[in-house]
Structure 1
């Protein structure tokens, strides 16, 4: 019979305990993301009906300050093109379908 050595499991901990966010900081981050999406949403809603016909399930990266958008088959490629044109801006990526997102939970 084989002797089994019980191995002691090391408890998991945070990788960077000094970099934890307070609940207020987390709530602020979510609020900023929601406000950013609300700035990008009108551009997406304006273009969505015509793009669904030709580019269904492609991705659209929107830069809200300039109003420019970039369409690609891959979400990372769309974001990369947007960042090349606007290096200091953060794009919001939508999927070109009825909801603008990749799926539901």
Structure 2
């Protein structure tokens, strides 16, 4: 009796090959992302000290144009609250802790 091996197809290339940026496009995207972060960070820093005591490791979504923020234990819920109140606007998510980072490196 012989064993048969399954025929697997190999992945070829990237999933989204149309997102191939030039160095200039990549630099522009990173600059815009950093500028948006710098608009949201002061709002987070202003309320971080008082929220860190009561809502440690919760999530906070910030909409910088209005200065409003939404907090919840769940990241998706905080983001959804922000999107419902400000449809079509970008928001930035922070974690209410010492660094404000949402994940690990």
TM-score w.r.t. the length of structure 2 is: 0.86
The 1:16–1:57 alpha-carbon spacing in structure 2 relative to 1, beyond 3 Å, is closer
Q: Secondary structure at the match of 1:32?
A: helix
Is 1:22–2:37 an aligned residue pair? Answer: no
Q: How does 1:5-84 map to 2 (within 5 A)?
A: 10=10, 12-84=12-84
Q: Quick check: 2:93–2:102 contact (8 Å CA) kept in 1?
A: no
Deviation at 1:61, TM superposition (A): 0.4
Deviation at 1:37, TM superposition (A): 0.5
TM-score w.r.t. the length of structure 1 is: 0.86
Within 2, Cα distance between the matches of 1:11 and 1:104?
Answer: 28
Matched with 1:101 is 101
Deviation at 1:97, TM superposition (A): 0.2
Unpaired runs of 5+ residues, structure 1, are: none
Deviation at 1:67, TM superposition (A): 0.3
Within 1, Cα distance between the matches of 2:28 and 2:21?
Answer: 10
